[in-house]
Structure 1
Amino acid sequence: MKVVFDFGGVLFRWHPPSFLARVWPHRVADEQVGAEVARTFFQAYGGDWGAFDQGLADAATTADRITARTGWPREEIVAVMEAVPQELQLIDGTAALIQDLKAAGHTLHFLSNMPEPYADHLEQHHPLKDWFVSGIFSGRVKQSKPYTPIFELAVEQFGAQPQDLIFLDDHPENIKAATALGWQAVLFTTPEAARVSLQERGLLPA
């Protein structure tokens, strides 16, 4: 079986409310405020940030656009953007899951909405080529989830029929898009819950 991993919030830590509370303590007093600020900053990964995700705008242009849209000082926008790589810490439980799936004989791929600078960082700091046979970063293919073209590209690149792919992602809209195209999918919440779901599907021993 081919198992496809999302990255942010699945293999690498990505929790914007707590991230912004750490990076912007003068603007974000707690995670509740952080959730509100995140909606403005990241626009649910549409708008300015969505273009950055898709490789349609570079980091400098994205900072300019967010500054113009929000009125926040550009140097503060840049500080958030430059802090993202440090936020993307490896989730140990998911790394263990990857090793166990590989040991069980499954083929692993990734499908991640990730701007190019952060994709470069992850490749430089983690053994992605050891973990995954192949993968797709949105910023390099100019497409992103939950839109159909990136899933179709993945099916072609991964050399599989949709029904032979099991996709782990933490965003319900991405899961919905994948299943609509015939993929199997697991909504990721924690590594432990994902492990149980994969055991129930017979991919891992109980």
Structure 2
Amino acid sequence: MTDIRHIVFDIGKVLIHYDPDLAFSRLIPDADKRKWFFDNVCTSAWNIEQDRGRTWEEAEALLIAEHPDHAENIRNFRRHWHDMVPHAYEDSVAIMVGLIESGRDVTMLTNFAADTFAEACQRFDFLDRPRGVTVSAEIGLIKPDRAIYDHHVASFGLEPAATLFIDDSQKNVDGAKAAGWQAVLFTDARALKADLERLGIAA
């Protein structure tokens, strides 16, 4: 296994918390109705297209045409995004910052809508600490598509085999491995620290 010279962090559910239920438990208090809404209206498949670069205006218009009775809550998804992202994972952030301060080359690769990423950067200043970031919506590509990993490598001059990717999604971890990277599945900071130490990286 090639020694790791580059470390790439995902952001959502690795460095900052994300949970739409935090907003919608108030907007749709009934758990069954809320589940139906996420399964049938504001679905993961709908939301990921904003990560690919579709505007919220277009996304809302498409859904409202299909589900006019849910127009207000469709708009509420973006309107209440800040409630879905209440805090950072301070222990994960500490690991990332520690790696940077020890001289490690750290970048970020994230599926994120452009405007919500800008908002996140205003709220969480540690997102400015790594050398750079690839934001899916800014380039029209999303994980786990092979092209986004190749784009990140080209943008930041990485050697894939010497790159470690940290992501909370198994399919994104698998995508990185298929692109020739090393990768670990994030579950919590303690497990990440153990993974890094197993790979010879003090954290």
* TM-score interval (norm. to shorter): 0.7 to 0.9
Q: What is the percent sequence identity of the aligned residues? A: 22
Question: 2:7 matched to which residue of 1?
Answer: 3
User: What stretches of structure 2 of length at least 5 have no aligned partner?
Assistant: none
* Residue type of the alignment partner of 1:13: H
Question: 2:197 matched to which residue of 1?
Answer: 199
* Residue type of the alignment partner of 2:38: A
Question: 1:87 matched to which residue of 2?
Answer: 84
Change (3 A) 1:43 1:79: closer
Matched ranges for 1:13-162 at <5 A? 13-16=17-20, 18-19=21-22, 21-28=24-31, 37-44=37-44, 46=45, 48-55=46-53, 57-88=54-85, 89-128=87-126, 130-162=128-160
Q: Which runs of 4+ in 1 moved over 6 A?
A: none
User: What stretches of structure 1 of length at least 5 have no aligned partner?
Assistant: none
Change (3 A) 1:154 1:28: same
* Residue type of the alignment partner of 1:153: H
CA drift at 1:67:
2.8
Residue 2 of structure 1 contacts residue 106 of structure 1 at CA under 8 Å; is this kept in 2? yes
Residue 51 of structure 2 contacts residue 113 of structure 2 at CA under 8 Å; is this kept in 1? yes
Provide the secondary structure at the position in 2 that maps to 1:52. helix
Question: 1:179 matched to which residue of 2?
Answer: 177
2:174, 2:37 → 1: CA distance?
Answer: 26
* Residue type of the alignment partner of 1:22: S
Provide the secondary structure at the position in 2 that maps to 1:167. strand
The TM-score normalised by the length of structure 2 is 0.87
CA drift at 1:71:
4.9
1:204, 1:84 → 2: CA distance?
Answer: 35
Question: 1:190 matched to which residue of 2?
Answer: 188
CA drift at 1:128:
4.5
2:176, 2:41 → 1: CA distance?
Answer: 26
Residue 4 of structure 1 contacts residue 165 of structure 1 at CA under 8 Å; is this kept in 2? yes
CA-to-aligned-CA distance 1:15-44 (integer Å, 9 cap, x gap): 34x435534343436xxx756643434533
Provide the secondary structure at the position in 2 that maps to 1:73. helix
CA drift at 1:11:
0.7
